[in-house]
Amino acid sequence: MDVSGLVWAGTLVVLTGILLVDLLIIGRRPHEPSVRESSLWVGFYVALALIFGAGVWLASGARAAGEFYTGWLTEYSLSVDNLFVFVIIMARFGVPRKYQQKVLLIGIVLALVMRGGFIAAGAALISQFSWVFYIFGAFLIYTAINLARQGEPDEDEFSENVLIRWSRRALPISRDYDGAKMTTRSPNGKRMFTPMLIVMIAIGTTDLIFALDSIPAIFGITQEPYLVFTANVFALMGLRQLYFLLGGLLERLIYLSYGLAVVLGFIGVKLVLEALAENNLPFVNGGEHVSWAPHIPIWLSLTVILGTLAVATVASLVKSSRDRRRLLADARR
């Protein structure tokens, strides 16, 4: 897929414009969006991704479009998993609901910047060293095993990282929020940071950790930097509204982590197989390509990912409904 500098520039301008619109909406009127507002925005961003994929199909063919859709779906599902941690952070630091939009949007901007850096570094490594796929694949398999063991995080398991603890000790932090501001003045006029700064640090470091999982995952689907970048951007756009749309539904997706573990494990195995097929490491098969390593086509990857996420979602909703009925029955006794 040959992407010109003009196409890159045009894409960046359009996506930045959409992001600025989001910033203006929040800056002018901080509020908790309604279900209708959130639904319209999420639908708009999903439609935008589908239209973009259709454009990729027309410009570069079905394979490139399939890679974009599969990458976008994978990143979108991983982004939904991010929301569990965002919910915990918001609850842990008592962020008022009407200011959570700003926190989420800044978190999304930070995630875009971090992922942009990781994508550039990953693309450079892959172009020079094909054995990087071994590392990416092993990391994803390791992450999948850990995710399956731990399940979804809860508030009791959330622990503040080193940067948050250092910020609490080293910086003057006020006890209360001052709207969505990062700084405020104490009663004696001293300039202080608000707890909003700590929340931003927590969101930013969380974004960094999730980027370490998501970037190798999408490079297991496509090695085209343009598709990797746009799939990530479209997966993150609308995440703010999705946070408010899902609301309590997140608590019902109890098997989502297991579904994501299967997805990450599948992509990890796919990466290792591709590394074997392109092998040039002297201590693996004498430095020769491994002929038996199969190539997993994009249609199969998309089918596995879609099927796994669908099963995990349906199983979660069935299980949570049964548990709710059981609790109601016990309460009536």
- Residue 119 · residue 215 · CB < 8 Å: yes
- Please name every residue paired with 192 in a beta bridge, in sequence order, or none if there are none: 184
Tokens found for residue 219: 């490079």
Q: What are phi and psi of 224, to 5 degrees?
A: -80, 110
Tell me the per-residue pLDDT of 28-41, one tens digit each, with 9 for 90 and over. 666 677 778 888 88
| Strand spans (E) along the chain | 183-185, 191-193
Residue 67, pLDDT score: 92
Long-range contacts of 24-31 (CB under 8 A, 24+ apart): 26/101, 26/102, 26/105, 30/98, 30/99, 30/101, 30/102, 30/179, 30/180, 31/98, 31/101
- Quick: pLDDT tens for 223-275: 888 999 899 888 888 777 787 777 666 667 788 888 888 988 888 888 888 88
Distance CA 263, CA 267 (A): 6
User: Which phi and psi (to 5°) does residue 241 adopt?
Assistant: -70, -35
Place of tokens 């002929």: 291
Is the whole-model pTM more than 0.85?
no
The structural domains of the chain, with segments of one domain joined by +, span 5-331
Cα gap 104→86, rounded to integer Å: 8
Structure confidence at residue 64 as a pLDDT band (50, 70, 90): very high
> Do 30 and 98 meet the contact criterion of CB atoms below 8 Å apart?
yes
The pLDDT tens digits of the residues spanning 86-145 come to 777 887 888 887 778 778 777 777 878 888 888 888 888 777 777 788 888 888 888 888
- 184 beta partners: 192
Q: Is 294 helix (H, G, I), strand (E, B) or coil?
A: coil
Give pLDDT tens digits for 274-312: 888 877 777 777 777 788 788 888 888 888 888 998 898
